[in-house]
Each structure stands twice: as C-alpha cells, then as structure tokens.
Amino acid sequence: MKKIIFAALFVFLVTGGLFAQRKITMKMASPVPENTPWGQYLNEIASEWRRITNGEIELIIYHNGIAGSEEAVVRNLKVNQIQAAVLSTFGLYEIIPEIMTLSCPLLIRDDDELDLVLSGLKPELEAKINSKGFFTLAWARVGWVKIFSKAPVFTPADLKRQRLGTNGEQAEFNQAFKTMGFQMIPVARNDILIALNGGMVDAVYESPIAVGGLQIFGLAKNMASINIAPFMGGIIFNQRAWRSVPEKYKSQLITATQRLESELDVSIRSLEEDMIKTMGNYGLKVNQLSPAQEQLWYDEMGRAMPTLVGTVFDRGIYTRIETILRDYRNRRR
C-alpha cells in the first residue's frame, strides 16, 4: 500500500511540475521592419512578457511582413495559425471597416486632435474589434500622410495639375481623393520610384517615414506641410490566444505593453521629425502652407464629404469625430 501511495505521489509531483513549467508559445505577425521603433517596441514587449511570466509565455515576432499581407494575416488570426498581429489601419479595416474613418483625409489635423479623438473613441472601437473574436492589446501611431510631389503643392489646384500615384489597397482613401477631382494613377507601392522616374506619376501621398525608407524624396522633392491623415497601428490577439494567458498575468502584461506604447508614440513623432530633417539635408523642400491655403484644402474636402459619408466612411463614427473636433476647435478660438 505504501508503495502505491508513494508511486501516486511521485506521479503527481512529476506531472504537477511539468504543468507548472508548461510554456505558451504565441506567434505575432508584423508588417514593419525590425530595425524601426515599431520593431524595437515589439521585441521589448516579447522581452517584458517573458520576464513577467518567468518564461511561461514566449512571443515569437515575425517582423518585416514575412507572414504575408495584412488581409492574409487577419485570415490566419481567425483560424489561430498565428495568435497575434500588428495591424495598420488597413488591416484593422478587415475586422471593422468603420476604423478607416479615423484616416478620413483632412478630418483630423494634428497630434492634439488625434489624441482627443482617440481618447473618446478607443473604448468603442476596441469593443467592436473584440466582439469579432479578437482582443485589442494596444494602439500606437504609424505617422501622418503627406503629399510629396515633383512640383510644389500649396493648394488643391496645384495637385490637380499633377498625376497622383495611388496604392490599390487604399480604396477608401483613393475614393476620397477621386471625389475631390484629382488625377488618380494606380501604382503598386514597390513601383512608385519607377513610375516617378518614368513620368507616369508626379506626386504621391505617403508618410515621411515611408518616403525616407523608399527614397521617394529623390524624385518627389517637394513636401506640402499640411497633414493629410493619421494612420494608426494596433496589436490584436485572437480571443483563443488571449484566453490561454493565465489570469494572474493579464493585468501586468497589459500595463507593461501600454507603458511601452506611450514610449513608442514619442519615438514615432521624433522619428518623423528627424526623417523630414534628414531628407531636407538631401534636397527635400518643405512647402509651408499659409492658414488661408490650408483652409482651401479643408473646404475642398468639405464639399466632397456629403458623397463620402455613409458610403466610403462610416456615418456614425464620422459624426462622433466631427462633434469632438468642432467642440475642441470652438474652445480654442
């Protein structure tokens, strides 16, 4: 009898030890190069999670878009082939289309307005994402979209005289510009330099960080100072993966990730400013718009909005954003 009890106790201790040491491995896809603030941020998250859980949770980051397009990544999230992903506005669109309204051209105009809108809308947007079988862990900026062109652009009329290269994946964004009457030329992102060099297009809209990385400023040597639209990024888990995280760790993991998120926001703003300065050293000219010229852009977009709201951009989210910004701008006057 003693032998049986001893054997049972031995099995319990051994198997208990095994379970205590079990390791949860999660694969996270990211479209961003590892040698960027975003890549560093993700590596730090993986390190923090390993530390907090004493190695029980291992995040493996697939940087540089090697996991495929954002559309493919969302599909793989749904079937748990990957457990987490960094998604830009376009990837989040695959989950909730209304997210694209945050990047409606010329609606949100600067970082202060973006902070205000996000503070008001993030809980609602997260609830919508989570209701689709996901868990929103964090948000962060990707940067501001600006106009880069061969000839200077100060007003909408300046840009309408140039052929504007567009990425086919940015359907909603493209439709907004098309509605405003711009000459839209479809160009794959990897072919932008060829199109600019060959005269197929004269201008593009991109973030300064992307323009610097792709060396677009060597041909499109003018940047209009106006912010066209913000783009966001989010870290999304599928619910199955998030449920597998032991409850005792969840609050610590969220806190650590959100602390790093705040640090990333500062890094992205700094990187964008530094990139513009660096490109300036190599010939980029920043064309500073006057308040009157900026107002021409806002008026142009305003005339297009009745056609776009409720079709291209979600009416409910647009109305919420517009109300937040109107109150904020009225207080500043």
State the pLDDT at residue 231. 83
Yes or no: say if 208 and 276 are a contact pair by the CB < 8 Å rule.
yes
State the pLDDT at residue 22. 72
DSSP state, residue 170: -
State the pLDDT at residue 56. 96
State the pLDDT at residue 330. 92
DSSP state, residue 64: T
Positions in the chain whose pLDDT score sits under 50 = 1-20
Interatomic CA distance for residues 95 and 143, integer angstroms: 21
State the pLDDT at residue 13. 40
Residue 121: closest CA among 132, 113, 110: 113
Which pair of tokens denotes residue 218?
A: 């060597």
Interatomic CA distance for residues 100 and 122, integer angstroms: 13
Give the pTM.
0.83
- What lies within 8 Å, CB to CB, of 312 at 6+ separation is 100, 172, 175, 176
Q: Where are the alpha helices (DSSP H) in the chain?
A: 2-20, 37-52, 70-78, 89-93, 111-130, 156-160, 171-179, 192-198, 208-214, 239-243, 247-281, 291-308, 315-332
CA distances from 300 to 15, 293, 332 (A): 68, 11, 23
